[in-house]
Amino acid sequence: MAQVTTRKKTPIPPTIRKPFRKSSLNGWLFASPWIIGLLLFYAYPLLSSMYYSLTTYSILDAGEFVGFKNYGELFHDDLFWKSISNTIYFAVFFVPLSILFGVSLAMMLNMKVKGLAIYRTIFFLPTLVPQVALAVLWMWLLNPGFGLVNGMLDSIGIQGPNWLGSMSWSKPSLILMSLWTIGQPVIIYLAGLGDISEEYYEAAEVDGASWFQKTRHITLPLLTPVIFYNLVMGLIGAFQQFTLPYTMTQGQGTPANSLTFYVMHMYDNAFKYFKMGYGSAMAWILFVIIMILTAIIFSTSKRWVHYQGE
Amino acid sequence: MGFKHRVLYKLSSLMFVFVLVLAGCSSDEKVEGDKDGKTTITFWHSTTSETAKGTANVIKAFEKQNPDIKVKSVYIANQGEGSNEKLLTSIAGGNPPDAAYFDRFEVASWAAKGSLEDLSELAAADGIKKENYYPYTWDEASYEGKLYGIPTTTDARLVFYNKDHFKEVGLDPENPPKTIKELEDAAAKLTIKDGKRFKRIGFIPWYAQGWFYGWGWTYGGDFYDKETKTVTANDPKNVEALEWITDFAKKYDVEDISGVTDSQGSGAMDPFLTGQISMKVSGNFNVASIDMYKPDLNYGVFPIPTPTGTDHTTWSGGWSVVIPKGAKKKEAAWKFLKFFGEEEGQKLFSESSRDFSAIESVNIDLGYADDPIFKEFIDILPNSKSRPVMTEGSLYWNELQTAVENSTRGKGTPKENLDKVNKTVTDALAK
Amino acid sequence: MNAKVKKRVNVTFTHIILIIVSLLFILPFIWMVSTSLKPITQVFTFPIEWIPDPFQWMNYLDAIEYIPFFTYLKNTVVITVLSTLGVIISCPLVAYSFAKLEWRGKNVLFVITIAVMMIPSQVTMIPLFLLFNKIGWVGTPLPLIVPAFFGVPFSIFLLRQFFMGLPDTLRDAAKIDGASEFRIYWQIMLPLAKPAILAVGLFQFMGSWTDFMGPLLYLTDEAQYTLSLGLQQFQSQMGTEWGLMMAVATMMTIPIIILFFFLQKTFIKGITFSGIK
């Protein structure tokens, strides 16, 4: 691996040049379970879905080969465009917010205060409650007339919006809900924080660094591998957003398709309208979109992701 | 640490071997060996609670009459309109159950793909005829003149109204609205609005079971011409119906209304039960949940009003039993279907599930006509309609939903939106 | 003195924020538990009644009778434990290889590993099913367990990030001492990555524990069903048996909470590199 840049701001221990180059066989050996798994459980389904995208496959019958017709048709599908814009809207707001919120939470949960174990468990709870229950609870909290949220806003003299019933507020509501189930990224950040060697902080303290300086020059840079991971995964997750809006709107994406996300539209085509070919084409377009975005993130990563190992 | 690791290592290799062995063992099962001359058929259903008891009773009686057949009944979560992943995959994999409980709405599209067994000949041979059933249930279970399922249950939609609310505002609870105009007036009287919040709303046309199919037919429109096989979503009468709905949305402000409708589909949070809405379109299946959540509710039902106050109609869905393509034991499965679909089986099923049977005499026998609420439903069933039997039924349904949503939200006129539905569905059918 | 006061203020401030956010985050859980103890008529009232009156403990007994709870529980445990074990064994190995070893084709394979996550599972579900059908695994829990032993892309990616963060100095030192690659991995690297491995294990555990689509597609006998399939059985056309459903959901959640409560300690800063030579 390249070990190009050395950072000045972080006190990274000097690296010994790796003198060992013969580990190729070992590398393959270590990775072999996944290579087999990839071939067994991923290659075939992926290639199949790629082939389906060129056919009118309906699950129930094989359909016929139609070349790129499905892809062409997509461009005339209004709901396709609508679902893309909804999905991008969601991703643009959700992904950065989830990182900001997740890192802050994790840092708070990494402090040495009493009752930490309990706090940590609580933050993890929403991810454990079944989705159906979450959906019901949200409708309840956000009910414009009787909900807890508007009730509280009312008491301080603000007329709350009609959250899920309004075309302009439905997506922000969904972003809010999704931030609720941020438990998994928070654990990852916590694990990341746990990996940062105490020595760095000790050294910084000797130099009289403030909390802010420590965060800026030690914590955040050394957390970047994990932030990088959560960024990529958050992006993939945001673009594949499905279960919560689907259960909450009974598959309809109401109001007025403002909550029809890309995968919801894909699912309807594949399973409700028996257009698996079309659905697969949608999946591969999604693939290209996420791939491009991920490639951009990866290409910039050398500039901002710091591995302690380097 | 070293010791722990060694133990873990051993344990994991052991597990791995175990899994491989497991894998080796299980790949050679699936031989449908029927011991002691008994045939076992697999039946997939999605019934739960009281409905599941109905299913169990049917199976018990069937097995008693057919000692050589055993029915293995398997509950499948998520089966029904639009979410049939399991049945789909099993048919695609060539390993489906012998029989399945199936949403009739989807018979046409599945039959068109060749995924259900044609039952026409078997039915004819055993004297199962259209005349025995509500005609629309039979039509819905058929595709291009062939029968693919035996109808089992049906339902209908009427307007439920809160009699106490009627009294309170001086409406006659025993004389509910007949015309659209009367419905509007009643709704206006019943509504109490406080700022943007409804303390109570009289009626919301699209709420609960107020799907657009019902309104189109109520206005005298139609959605599909069977003869010419053309989609008629933009039938002038349908446009009229949607215009009325749109006006209603404007009058009461659709966003304010959604405050009430947001909680749709959540049992006792149903605004009709909490008294937030005075009238709503709903089905007979709602009666059981009212009994469960609010048994003392003083309510009644009346047919969906029409512009003229006459020619009341409604629409019905329901279920059927089918044999998926690729089923191994068709003969035994057919026997089971036949039993389920004839009077005896239907009676056993309807008795515990409280779903209406697709056979009128069964409903009469079970005394539904003696119940003041159910009677209204039984009375209207012979005039009921069913959604168009076509391969793009689900698309049509969703598109109509979108048209209503967009029109009420002021995105495009009713005419434009219905024209669009027509085009989309026609295009899809042409493929 | 001044610094001490400042620290105390800081701690108090942290507590206040943590408590406020905790209140927000604990809501769904409280709702679930409270609903699980309510009679059906009390489930939906405005405003929410958080404390059931009276406590309907019967819901738990009823729920256990309504579905074959213990059978489903046993099935869920078997699938979950085995698949978690699979992930814990396979993923660190692969991730280590991606992070620390040099081999041809590594980067290409890594890109592919990321890429396979970008295709939504909804479209690969059918071909995957057909594959398992062909080898006769449909109707057994194998499709829900075996793939985990061959690695799960998101876990591999996550662990790779952690291994990348471990200093090479340790590895190099061990190499000079003549340790084999596997020994370095097993005795040095693996223990260092413990928090991440536990996190990955926990995610897999939760994923398997609550998975719905997998068991729905692959299990064909009610005797094999899992709890998440059981949850669906509380929904009927009359409405949902919320009390019973939430009772099962609560019973499903408690083990994970306990597990988490004890695991979370390992996420605390606890690794001192100086301690390992």
Does residue B94 carry a pLDDT above 60? Answer: yes
B402 closest CB neighbour out of A140, A165, A257 = A257
A255 interaction partners in chain B (CB closer than 8 Å):
258, 405, 409
- State whether B86 and C89 contact (CB < 8 Å): no
β-sheet bridge partners, residue B248: none
- A190 to chain C, any CB pair closer than 8 A? The answer is yes
Using a 10 angstrom Cβ sphere, with 0-12 exposed, 13-18 middle and 19 or more buried, the burial of residue A17 is: exposed
Predicted pLDDT at A141: 85
Average pLDDT over residues B243-254: 95
Closest C-alpha among A277, A278, A254, A292 to residue A62: A277
Predicted pLDDT at B400: 96
Residues sharing a CB contact under 8 Å with residue C107, sequence separation 6 or more, in sequence order: none
Q: How many residues are given for chain A?
A: 310
Predicted pLDDT at B418: 97
Does residue A47 carry a pLDDT above 80? Answer: yes
Predicted pLDDT at C239: 74
Predicted pLDDT at A134: 85
Predicted pLDDT at C166: 83
C41 interaction partners in chain B (CB closer than 8 Å):
268, 293-294
- State whether C212 and B268 contact (CB < 8 Å): no
Predicted pLDDT at C268: 60
| Residue B320, token pair as written in the block | 């059927």
Neighbours of chain C (3+ CB pairs under 8 A): A, B
What string of H, E and C letters represents the secondary structure of chain C?
Answer: CHHHHHHHHHHHHHHHHHHHHHHHHHHHHHHHHHHHCCCHHHCCCCCCCCCCCCCCCHHHHHHHHHCCHHHHHHHHHHHHHHHHHHHHHHHHHHHHHHHHCCCCCHHHHHHHHHHCCCCCHHHHHHHHHHHHHHCCCCCCCHHHHHHHHHCCHHHHHHHHHHHHCCCHHHHHHHHHCCCCHHHHHHHHHHHHCHHHHHHHHHHHHHHHHHCCHHHHHHCCCHHHCCHHHHHHCCEECCEECHHHHHHHHHHHHHHHHHHHHHHHHHHCCCCCHHHCC
Does residue B308 carry a pLDDT above 80? Answer: yes
Whole-angstrom distance, CA of residue A111 vs CA of residue A102: 15
| CA nearest to C149 within chain B | B16
**Testing the interface with A: which of C267, C271, C272, C274 to mutate, by most A Cβ within 10 A?**
C267
Closest C-alpha among B349, B420, B426 to residue B392: B426
Neighbours of chain B (3+ CB pairs under 8 A): A, C
CB < 8 Å from B in window 178-207 of C: 186-187, 190-191
- B193 to chain A, any CB pair closer than 8 A? The answer is no
Does residue B8 carry a pLDDT above 60? Answer: no
B269 closest CB neighbour out of C44, C85, C86 = C44
Does residue A20 carry a pLDDT above 80? Answer: no
**Testing the interface with B: which of A136, A246, A273, A278 to mutate, by most B Cβ within 10 A?**
A273
- CA of A99 to nearest chain C CA: how many angstroms apart? 16
Predicted pLDDT at A237: 95
β-sheet bridge partners, residue B301: B160
| CA nearest to B425 within chain A | A273
- Residues (pLDDT < 50) of chain C are 270-277
Predicted pLDDT at A309: 60
CB of B308 closer than 8 Å to CB of B24 = no
C-alpha distance from residue B18 to each of A40, A267, B11, B391, C208 (Å): 19, 37, 10, 47, 19
A28 interaction partners in chain C (CB closer than 8 Å):
97, 103
Closest C-alpha among A202, A211, A110 to residue C6: A211
Does residue B206 carry a pLDDT above 60? Answer: yes
Residues sharing a CB contact under 8 Å with residue A29, sequence separation 6 or more, in sequence order: C97
Residues of chain A with pLDDT > 70, as a percent, come to 92
Give residue-wise pLDDT tens across range B142-188: 999 999 999 999 999 999 999 999 999 999 999 999 999 999 999 99
Does residue A157 carry a pLDDT above 80? Answer: yes
- C125 to chain B, any CB pair closer than 8 A? The answer is yes
Does residue B198 carry a pLDDT above 60? Answer: yes
Predicted pLDDT at C96: 95
Mean pLDDT taken over chain B: 89
Average pLDDT over residues A206-228: 91
- A196 to chain C, any CB pair closer than 8 A? The answer is yes
Task: Provide φ and ψ at B69, rounded to 5°.
Answer: -120, 135
β-sheet bridge partners, residue B103: B319
**C176 versus B431: which is more confidently predicted?**
C176
Beta-strand ranges (E) seen in chain A are none
Give residue-wise pLDDT tens across range B50-74: 899 999 999 999 999 999 999 999 9
A165 closest CB neighbour out of B82, B259, B401 = B259
Of A89-93, A116-120, B344-348, the least confident: A116-120
Give residue-wise pLDDT tens across range A234-262: 999 999 999 899 988 888 888 889 999 99
**Testing the interface with B: which of A162, A173, A268 to mutate, by most B Cβ within 10 A?**
A162
- State whether B292 and C40 contact (CB < 8 Å): yes
Average pLDDT over residues A130-135: 82
